[in-house]
Amino acid sequence: MKLGDIAIAFVAVAVTLLIIIPLPSGLLDVLLSFNIALALIILLISLYVKEPLEFSIFPSLLLLATIFRIALNISSTRLILSEGYAGQVIEAFGNFVIGNDIIVGVIIFLIIFVVQFIVVTRGAERVAEVAARFTLDAMPGKQMAIDADLNSGIISEAQARERRAKIQREADFYGAMDGASKFVKGDAIVSIIIAVINIIGGIITGMLVQGMDFAEVLNRYTLLTVGDGLVSQVPALLISVGTGIIVTRAASESNMSRDLVSQITSQPVAMLIAGITLIVLAFMGLPKLPMFSIGGVFIYLGYTIQNTAKLKQQQEETSAEKTRTDEIRRPENVLPLLQVDPIELEFGYNLIPLADVNQGGDLLDRVVMIRRQLALDLGIVVPMIRIRDNIQLKPNQYVIKIKGVEVAEGELMPDRYMAMNPGAVEHEINGIPGVEPAFGLPAIWITAEQKDEAEMAGYTVVDPPSVMATHLTEVIRRHSYELLGRQEVQGLIDNIKQTHPVLVDELIPKLMTVGEVQKVLQNLLKENVPIRDMVTILETLADYVNLTRDPDMLTEYVRHALSRTITRRFIQGNKASAITVDPSLEQLIMDSVKQTEQGTMIAMEPSKLRAMLSSLSNEIRKLSGTGIQPIVITSPVVRIYFKRLTEQLLPDLPVLSYNELEPSIEVQSVGMVRI
């Protein structure tokens, strides 16, 4: 065993033996002085610890200090009763309190006992009991909070174990404090009993054994009893105060003295008001000297602290501004500026209420619904949409950006409704002419009072947030293939892997890379074909990737597999009214296809290309007045090349092949593209 361990064991045994071993008065003086010093140390440590667990030995130390104090009290009683003298320390304390008036001294001594027993000791005992109960009651909630943080990844397993151990130590500490506080209470009771024994026993011993008269005996033994009681109660009072401080200590980043100074001085106005109040009371008749003195000190302290706080705040603001400037100047802080948001919606200041929840705007909720709608419709996860105001725009203008580049814009009148004529309006309504931004249709802006009248007349009436949400939806739908990166494709694949792990493991990365799958999915989205049925798409790729690795050809195979989806998306009912392509033109297109190292190219004569596009435009123009959605149907081998030739002029024109239609669909040719 180490020397320190042996010393502690020796002290514990020696303190117990002091109860029965007689002590000389000189040694008793030394031990009483040490007892007072020990109590002071315990009180000061209680003041300077940041949290109770830093002084976790306190319950055991409290027990030892109490036994040590009782042992000294018993030793001093033995000397008082046997010799009528218990050393200089006890006599000095007795003379200090009693002085020349024994009655006043006894009363003061009794008051000290009452304060120690009723106020400090009982208060500390109650606080320790309540703290122990609350700590034990809070343990399950704290354990659940630790488990929640661990499951969410906020803390590690080692940190979780450390926190659980700390909670257990707190419960043990407050439980021990609850028990140790009973020793303090018992010590106070024993001190009162010993004081009574000292006086009664001293009177009997002095009169019967030493032959002293009653007045001399009363004066002598009362002085020794009061001195002995004070020597015991002063350390007990100090330790009781330390006990109260420990059990009432709240969690903090600093010790009690710093918290006391910082928190009291944090409100200089309180000091100013207190000082002014004292001066007012002095003018109302209270003693002027103490009131003016203390009031002036408080006013001076409040004024000084207030000015110091203002100066400190200015210095902090200056330092923070300098820090921000230095951060901006650092080269590595340019990197965040390189990040580009996938989708941005910017609007002028008149449209801010549409997005401000406090002003009744529901644009943010509509954005959430847009992401859900596109997930169900196209099968993609739309990235987060950045919404911000832009004072450089017109008040009623908004712009939509894809990867930092403006792709669409529009103007709204937030205090009006947009009315569109679907073609069956009974009578026209006056309004401000405008254009529906999503599809470029003519419209008028009407007031709220005209809404019911416009709906009765056959107009389609929508509010400004719906106009913006519809436009945003169509823009995202049109550019969805640009938003589908490799990371997003990997997310879709991981989602499928949860239910179809064999399919994913066979295809990726053994047969295809994520980038190759991305190109096929982008080709589908570019022609408005949903990719929600990822299982069918991946199954088809796994079947045909050994035949060709050309993304365009793989896309055609996938389109054939998605024939039911494509049919229901572009054709209503069981009859398809479509534009067909002349077989000779199809043959011309196939003859123009050239295979190069860079991929497949179409080398068609410009004159024939212009003739083909002109013929296609004429056929679409004929259908525009009949209300039929233009659809072009070609043979399977020509479809992809015909789409490439026409997508610059008509990017939204659906081009299907016969293999992509269900067998039950009846194709009716309403026009033919020729040269």
- Would you state the pLDDT for residue 665? 85
Cα separation of 370 and 430, whole Å?
Answer: 32
Cα separation of 339 and 352, whole Å?
Answer: 25
**Between these two residues, 388 and 624, which has the higher pLDDT value?**
388
Residue 665 is classified by DSSP as P
- Poorest-confidence range of 212-221, 289-298, 317-326? 212-221
Cα separation of 397 and 389, whole Å?
Answer: 10
Asked whether residue 328 carries a pLDDT value surpassing 60, the answer given is: no
**Strand 575-581, strand 666-673: pairing:** parallel
**On the CB side of 241, how many CA atoms lie within 13 Å of its CA?**
15
Residue ranges per structural domain of the chain:
15-262, 267-316, 343-481, 487-561, 571-675
- Would you state the pLDDT for residue 417? 92
- Poorest-confidence range of 82-96, 127-141, 203-217, 588-602? 203-217
Against a cut of 0.75, is the pTM above it? no
Asked whether residue 217 carries a pLDDT value surpassing 70, the answer given is: no
The whole-number average pLDDT for the span 549-573 is 89
The architecture of the domain spanning 571-675 is 3-Layer(aba) Sandwich (3.40)
- Buried (b) or exposed (e) across 187-197, using 16+ Cβ within 10 A? bbebbbebbee
Asked whether residue 312 carries a pLDDT value surpassing 90, the answer given is: no
Could you confirm whether domain 343-481 is CATH 3.40.30.60?
A: yes
Asked whether residue 229 carries a pLDDT value surpassing 80, the answer given is: no
- Would you state the pLDDT for residue 542? 92
- Would you state the pLDDT for residue 271? 76
- Would you state the pLDDT for residue 66? 77
Confidence tier at 99 by pLDDT (50, 70, 90): low
Cα separation of 37 and 241, whole Å?
Answer: 15
- Would you state the pLDDT for residue 338? 67
Cα separation of 458 and 423, whole Å?
Answer: 9
Confidence tier at 337 by pLDDT (50, 70, 90): low
**Between these two residues, 194 and 393, which has the higher pLDDT value?**
393
Cα separation of 200 and 421, whole Å?
Answer: 113
pLDDT tens track for 438-467: 888 889 999 988 888 888 888 889 999 999
The segment with the largest mean pLDDT, out of 214-228, 272-286, 502-516, is 502-516
- Poorest-confidence range of 57-71, 114-128, 250-264? 250-264
Q: Centre a 10 Å sphere on the Cβ of residue 457 and count the other Cβ atoms it contains.
A: 17
Three-state DSSP at 603 gives coil
- Would you state the pLDDT for residue 4? 52
**Between these two residues, 538 and 208, which has the higher pLDDT value?**
538
- Would you state the pLDDT for residue 438? 87
- Would you state the pLDDT for residue 382? 86
pLDDT tens track for 233-251: 777 777 777 777 776 665 4
Helix (H) or strand (E) holding 485: none
Both tokens of 201, joined, read 């026993």
Asked whether residue 602 carries a pLDDT value surpassing 60, the answer given is: yes
CATH superfamily of 487-561: FHIPEP family, domain 3 (1.10.8.540)
Mean pLDDT, the chain, whole residue set: 80
Give me the DSSP letters along 148-163. HHHHTTSS-HHHHHHH
Percentage of residues in the chain having pLDDT higher than 90:
10
Confidence tier at 664 by pLDDT (50, 70, 90): confident
Three-state DSSP at 580 gives strand
